Amino acid sequence: MQTIKWSGYEWITQERWGQVHEDKWIQWYDPSAVQIDSTGCLHLYTHKNPKEFSEINRVSPIGIGLVSSTTQFGYGRFEITAKLPSGPWLWPAFWMWSWKSWPPEIDVFEGYSGEKNNYFNPKWNWTLKRLLRPWSIETNLHWMKEETHTSAGYGRGRLGYFKNPTKRFINYRLDWFPDRVEWWWDHKLVQKVDDPIVMQTLKGHKMNVILNNAVMWGIDLDNPTNSDFSIKSFKWTPLLLI
């Protein structure tokens, strides 16, 4: 298991349970797809790098960059400044899940490029609300017991039409309080959850923070996209200091 130091924390370059998921075998968590440049910027790549995994009887064709914190984080502010990868069928994410169980899981964002290169998908025939949220970048929350878990996709956060997330660095932030969770993108509040039932299920958990580039079904397995999810920094501010 490979570890790196970045933004003041230690990270492993795979999920804490392993290097490949049997249901998502088209990709594996590849240490060579994780690099830190001379400025301290973290780069999480996708590239063709086949590797055989005998435990699932598969050859995984695409190596992806993922880092998983070894620190257990509680209430507070979680933020990165990042530029999303460009290319079709990409699935970058900034998210966290409990050290005790799954769920709960809180996704600061998940991006879905689909057939496009830049996540721009305004859905012109949809509602005005959807038109004002043209980028396929979404918030999400999972809670309750694993066998009966409830998932809430809170939908797209609002990011302006001219703020292409593949062309510029944008601040993505989550504020986790005992009584609410707030998502802030580009320093604007884009989503909030304060349902007491949901918040009770998050109580007492410590979170494992994960940053990853990833690919989705639909990508060309023989000639996959070479992409770069660039992250300038990660910062956690404890609740008492917010």
Share of the chain above pLDDT 70, in %: 91
Does pLDDT of 131 surpass 80?
A: no
CB atoms within 10 A of CB 195: 13
Which domains are assigned to the chain? 3-241 (2.60.120.200)
pLDDT for residue 49? 98
In single-letter form, the type of residue at position 8 comes to: G
Does pLDDT of 160 surpass 70?
A: no
Phi, psi of 129 (to 5 degrees): -60, -45
Task: For residue 157, count CB atoms less than 10 angstroms from its CB and return exposed for 0-12, middle for 13-18, buried for 19 or more.
Answer: buried
Task: For residue 80, count CB atoms less than 10 angstroms from its CB and return exposed for 0-12, middle for 13-18, buried for 19 or more.
Answer: buried
Q: How far apart are CA 156 and CA 140, in angstroms?
A: 9
* Mean pLDDT, all residues of the chain: 92
Give the residue-averaged pLDDT of 12-29: 97
Q: pLDDT (tens digit, 9 = 90+) per residue, 30-68?
A: 999 999 999 999 999 999 999 999 999 999 999 999 999
Q: How far apart are CA 3 and CA 12, in angstroms?
A: 4
Q: How far apart are CA 65 and CA 70, in angstroms?
A: 16
Q: How far apart are CA 104 and CA 89, in angstroms?
A: 26
Structure tokens at 106: 């809180």
Q: pLDDT (tens digit, 9 = 90+) per residue, 73-84?
A: 999 999 999 999
Give the residue-averaged pLDDT of 124-149: 72
Q: pLDDT (tens digit, 9 = 90+) per residue, 162-187?
A: 688 999 999 999 999 999 999 999 99
pLDDT for residue 92? 98
Q: How far apart are CA 102 and CA 80, in angstroms?
A: 23
Q: How far apart are CA 224 and CA 230, in angstroms?
A: 18
pLDDT for residue 35? 98
